C-alpha cells in the first residue's frame, strides 16, 4: 500500500486515533509510523484535533502507591539515566561549571561515537525597542549532535515585569518558529534539550512575550535578539 | 479562542518545560509532571478500562514510557498534553483489545456477564453515576469550537463518535451496542470524522491562525 497517499493516511490515522482500529491493525499501524512521515503527520493532526475532548473527563487521583511503583522502576534504570546527566555535565563544563575529570567521565560514559564540536551562535540585539534588553549579545552553544542547547547572556537581561523573553528555533524553510522555552531573567544559563527540534533550523531568535511565554505557541512580540548558524 | 482550548495549550506550555527537564533525567521535574498530569491521564484510562487495578498498571506503564521517551518529545510536532493523553489512550485501548481474547472482557459500561461471580474488590469499577460518553461529548462541545461542528452530525453519528472515543470501543462493539450493521457503523464514523475535520479546519481559519 502507498502510505504516502494522504487520503489513505488520513483514514488510517483517524481510525487509529479515535480508537476503533482492531488490535492487529493497531500494532501494524504503530510499526509503520516511524518510517512513514505522511502517517505520522496525519496521526498527530488527529491527536491534536481529538485529544482536547478528554478535557471533559473529570480527573481521578491515582493512589500514591502508583507513583511509588513508577519511582521504583525508574530507580532500577538509574545506571542508564546517568548517561544523560553526564552529557549535561559535559556541556555545563564548557560554560565553566564542572571539572575536567567530569568531562573525561562524560565522554567515556556518554559518547560511544566521537563527539562533534559544539557550535556557538551569537544572538545579536536587533534594535527592536524593548527595555531590559541590552546592546550585548546572548551566546548559545549547541552540541555537535544538535540535541543540547545552552544559552547565556553576556550581561544580565531582564524583560519588563509582566513580560518574558522567549527563545525560538526558526526553520530555514519559513515554517513557524518552535519555542525553546523562556529565558530566565538575569545572567543565568538555560539548557533546552528537545530531540530534533533544531533540524532544519538556521536561526535562533529571542522575542518579548507575555509573562511565562507566548500564549499561542508562536512569537507574538518583537524579536529582540537573533543569530544565524548552520549545523 | 474558546477557553478550554486555551487552557489545553496553556497547560501544555508549562508541561513542555517539565518534559524537557525530564528528558535530561531530572526526576524532580518528572515528579511534578506526574503530579500535574496523572489525575487527567488516570481518568482517561479509567474511562476505557474500568478495572481500577488494571488502570493503575496501565498508568504505571504510561509514565515509565514517558520517562524513556521524554527526550524524544518534539514540541514542534505536538502539545505535551496531547502527546501524554495519546500515550495513555493507546495503552488503555491496547489493554482492551488484549482482553477481547479473555472471558472477563466486557464491551461497555453495561454490567459484565457473570459479574456476580467476580470479587467486587478486585473488579473495582468506576461509579455508575459517572457521566456517559455522550454527556462527555456535549461537555467537550461546550468548551470547544467543536460545538457547531458536532451539531452538524446526526444524533446517531454523535453517539458512535462518543462510544469510540471515550469508551475505546471497536467498530464491532459499537455495532453491537447500537444494534446496527457493522458496515453502517463504519460509514457513520468515517463520515462523522471527515465532517469534524473539515468543520474544525474552517473554524481555525475563521480564528485567523
What integer is the mean pLDDT of B96-116? Answer: 47
Statement: residue B28 has pLDDT above 90: yes
In angstroms, rounded to a whole number, what is the distance separating the alpha carbons of residues B70 and B21?
9
- Write down the pLDDT at residue A115: 55
Q: In which band, very low, low, confident or very high, does the pLDDT at B108 lie, cut at 50, 70 and 90? A: very low
Q: In which band, very low, low, confident or very high, does the pLDDT at B118 lie, cut at 50, 70 and 90? A: very low
Statement: residue A187 has pLDDT above 60: yes
In chain A, which residue's Cα lies nearest the Cα of B143? Answer: A56
What are the residue boundaries of the structural domains of chain B, listed by start? 1-104+118-129, 131-209
DSSP helix/strand/coil, A117: coil
Query: Which chain B residues have a beta carbon less than 8 Å from that of A168?
Result: none
Assigned CATH topology for domain B1-104+118-129: Rna Polymerase Sigma Factor; Chain: A (1.10.1740)
Mean pLDDT of chain A: 74
Q: What is the pLDDT of residues B49-86, one digit of tens each?
A: 999 999 999 999 999 999 988 887 877 777 899 999 99
Could you tell me which residue, A22 or B209, shows the higher pLDDT?
Answer: A22
Q: What is the pLDDT of residues B156-203, one digit of tens each?
A: 888 899 899 988 888 999 999 999 999 999 999 999 998 888 887 776
Query: Which chain B residues have a beta carbon less than 8 Å from that of A53?
Result: 136-137, 140, 144, 146, 165-166
Sheet of A138-142, strands arranged across:
A178-183, A163-171, A201-210, A223-228, A119-125, A138-142, A149-153, A190-192
CATH 1.10.10.10 fits B131-209, yes or no: yes
Which residues have a Cβ under 8 Å from the Cβ of A45 and sit 6 or more positions away? A13
Could you tell me which residue, A193 or B155, shows the higher pLDDT?
Answer: B155
Query: Which chain A residues have a beta carbon less than 8 Å from that of B100?
Result: 23
**Within this chain, domains B1-104+118-129 and B131-209 share the same CATH topology:** no
- Write down the pLDDT at residue A177: 81
C-beta atoms of A213 and B13 within 8 A:
yes
User: Can you spell out the DSSP letters for B143-192?
Assistant: HSTHHHHHHTS-HHHHHHHHHHHHH---HHHHHHHHT--HHHHHHHHHHH
CA distance A219 to chain B (A): 13
Q: Could you give the domains of chain A?
A: 6-55 (no CATH), 64-110 (no CATH), 119-228 (2.60.40)
Statement: residue B101 has pLDDT above 60: no
Query: Which chain B residues have a beta carbon less than 8 Å from that of A66?
Result: 38, 42, 56, 59-60
Q: In which band, very low, low, confident or very high, does the pLDDT at A134 lie, cut at 50, 70 and 90? A: low
- Which residue, among A12, A14, A18, would best test binding to B if mutated, counting the most B CBs under 10 Å from its CB? A18
**CA distances for A46 relative to A205, B143, B148, angstroms:** 30, 18, 18
- Give the pTM: 0.58
Amino acid at each position: 500500500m502507498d502510505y504516502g497517499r494522504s487520503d489513505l493516511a488520513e483514514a488510517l490515522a483517524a481510525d487509529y486515533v479515535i480508537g476503533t482500529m482492531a488490535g492487529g491493525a493497531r500494532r501494524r499501524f504503530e510499526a509503520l509510523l516511524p518510517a512513514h512521515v505522511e502517517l505520522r503527520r496525519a496521526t498527530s493532526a488527529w491527536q491534536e484535533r481529538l485529544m482536547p475532548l478528554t478535557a471533559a473527563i473529570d480527573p481521578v487521583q491515582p493512589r500514591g502507591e502508583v507513583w511509588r511503583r513508577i519511582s521504583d522502576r525508574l530507580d532500577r534504570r538509574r545506571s542508564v539515566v546517568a548517561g544523560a546527566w553526564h552529557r549535561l555535565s559535559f556541556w555545563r563544563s564548557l560554560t565553566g561549571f564542572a571539572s575536567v575529570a567530569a568531562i573525561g567521565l562524560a565522554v567515556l560514559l556518554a559518547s560511544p561515537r566521537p563527539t562533534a564540536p559544539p557550535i556557538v551562535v551569537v544572538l545579536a540585539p536587533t534594535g527592536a525597542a524593548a527595555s531590559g534588553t541590552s546592546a550585548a549579545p546572548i551566546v548559545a552553544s549547541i552540541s555537535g549532535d544538535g540535541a543540547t542547547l545552552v544559552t547565556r547572556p553576556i550581561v544580565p537581561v531582564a524583560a519588563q515585569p509582566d513580560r518574558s523573553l522567549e527563545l525560538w528555533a526558526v526553520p530555514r524553510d519559513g515554517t513557524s518558529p518552535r519555542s525553546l522555552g523562556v529565558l530566565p531573567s538575569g545572567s543565568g544559563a538555560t539548557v533546552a534539550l528537545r530531540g530534533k527540534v533544531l533540524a532544519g533550523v538556521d536561526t535562533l531568535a529571542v522575542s518579548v512575550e507575555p509573562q511565562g511565554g507566548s500564549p499561542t505557541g508562536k512569537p507574538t512580540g518583537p524579536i529582540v535578539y537573533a543569530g544565524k548558524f548552520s549545523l | 479562542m474558546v477557553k478550554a482550548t486555551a487552557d489545553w495549550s496553556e497547560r501544555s506550555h508549562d508541561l513542555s518545560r517539565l518534559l524537557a527537564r525530564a528528558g535530561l533525567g531530572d526526576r524532580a521535574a518528572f515528579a511534578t509532571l506526574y503530579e500535574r498530569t496523572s489525575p487527567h491521564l488516570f481518568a482517561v484510562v479509567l474511562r476505557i478500562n474500568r478495572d481500577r487495578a488494571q488502570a493503575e498498571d496501565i498508568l504505571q506503564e504510561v509514565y515509565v514510557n514517558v520517562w524513556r521517551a521524554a527526550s524524544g518529545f518534539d514540541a514542534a510536532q505536538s502539545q505535551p498534553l496531547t502527546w501524554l493523553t495519546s500515550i495513555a489512550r493507546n495503552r488503555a485501548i491496547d489493554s482492551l483489545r488484549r482482553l477481547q481474547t479473555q472471558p472477563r472482557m466486557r464491551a461497555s459500561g453495561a454490567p459484565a456477564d457473570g459479574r456476580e461471580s467476580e470479587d467486587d474488590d478486585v473488579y473495582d469499577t468506576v461509579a455508575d453515576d459517572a457521566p456517559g460518553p455522550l454527556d462527555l461529548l456535549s461537555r467537550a462541545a461546550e468548551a470547544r469550537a467543536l460545538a457547531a461542528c458536532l451539531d452538524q452530525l446526526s444524533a446517531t453519528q454523535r453517539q458512535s463518535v462518543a462510544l469510540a472515543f471515550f469508551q475505546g470501543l471497536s467498530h464491532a462493539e459499537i455495532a453491537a451496542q447500537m444494534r446496527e450493521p457493522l458496515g453502517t457503523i463504519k460509514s457513520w464514523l468515517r463520515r462523522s470524522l471527515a465532517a469534524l475535520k473539515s468543520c474544525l479546519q474552517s473554524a481555525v481559519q475563521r480564528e485567523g491562525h
